[in-house]
Each structure stands twice: as C-alpha cells, then as structure tokens.
Amino acid sequence: MRDLKKTSDHITHYDYVDTPIGEMLIAGCKNYVRFVSFPEAPDGSVGHTPRQPLDIWQRGGDMFAQAKQELSEYFAGKRTEFTVPLKPEGTDFQMSAWRALQEIPYGETRSYGQQAALIGNPKASRAVGGANNANPIPVIIPCHRVIGASGTMTGFGGGIPTKEFLLDLEGRVAGTRLL
C-alpha cells in the first residue's frame, strides 16, 4: 500500500464505508477518489496496517456518496464495474500496471506474467507485483484479480483472506471459474 504522506498533498477529505470485510477508508479531493484502505481483519491476521486519515484531512461524507454507493453495490453482488472518478498517483510504470488491472474482467483473474505482457513488458512480472502492491485504490482498481502463475494466492495488501473473499464474491456472482 502506498505511503499516505506521498499522496496527501492532493487529499483533502475522507470518509468510511461499511463492507463485509470491515470499515474501509475512502479519501480524495472534491472530484476524485485517490485512496482506499482495507480495514484491520477482525481476528488481527491481516499482514498490513490499516491506514488512518491524516490530521489535515476533513471528514466529508457527501463527497464520497458515489464511491460508497458503488462499493456497497459491489459487495452486495450488484455491481461489476465502477464509474466513480479516480485519480491515482504513481510512476508511469505503476499507472500502466493499474490501467491493465482495470482491463481484467469481473470474475476473472490474470497472473503477474500475463499482466506484465499486457503492458508490453513480459519480463516485468516482479515489477508488476510491486506496482500492484502500491495500488492506492484497491477493489475499485482490482489488484485482487492478479494471482500466481500456478493459480496460487500471492501477496495482497488486504491479506490473503480478503483476496480470497473478493475472488469468491466475484466468481460466485459472475458464475465463472477462476484460474
């Protein structure tokens, strides 16, 4: 997950949305979602530290109404694509990796190697993994849809149980078989 201090210059507001995986932080500015963070797992097993809003951010629920609605619909199995305006920040490579993530259809998965090939750099699967780990807007930019070449669950900022939950939700709703 990204360091909030690196993106905080453009984040002015935040709010939370309740989901089946816990309360997720949404942050951004007037027109864009710039950051989403996973909650801490109820059993404390997640291998990450949930991000907290910075002191300079203001809580602004109305600003994130669309994002909250779309995430709620996604978790209810009623939404397969997001339309909320996003503005992630990253290197050119990261941005290309995140665009490629958005090309993975709902209910399907890709390997890191497949994603690297999709962005025109087939030998960059490790770099793709690093870019996916730096994804500032998980779930909406679906880094959970990338798995190991053998079909194994690999590292994920929200923890492997969350990744499995998201893939199960999408597979169950879409009626498709995951890799």
Instruction: Tally the domains of the chain.
Output: 2
Domain termination site, one of 75, 100, 119? 75
Could you tell me if 111 and 150 are in contact, meaning their C-beta atoms sit under 8 angstroms apart? no
Q: Would the pLDDT of 98 be above 60? A: yes
Locate the DSSP E strands across 13-136: 13-19, 22-28, 33-37, 58-59, 110-111
Mean per-residue pLDDT over the chain, rounded: 86
| Tens-digit pLDDT profile for residues 111-152 | 999 999 999 999 999 999 999 999 999 999 999 999 988 888
* Chain segment 58-88, per-residue pLDDT in tens: 998 688 999 999 999 999 999 999 999 999 9
Residue 153: predicted pLDDT: 87
Q: How far apart are CA 71 and CA 87, in angstroms?
A: 17
Whole-structure pTM value? 0.87
- pLDDT score recorded for residue 88: 94
29 flagged as catalytic: no
Domain membership of residue 85 (yes or no) is no
Out of 101, 137, 140, 143, the active site residue is 143
Helix (H) or strand (E) holding 147: strand 146-147
Tokens in use for 32? 């864009």
Claim to verify: residue 61 and residue 127 sit in the same structural domain: no
| CB-based burial label for 56 (10 Å; 0-12, 13-18, 19+) | exposed
CATH number at residue 140: 1.10.10.10
* 75, 103, 118 - which closes a domain: 75
Domain end (from 27, 42, 75)? 75
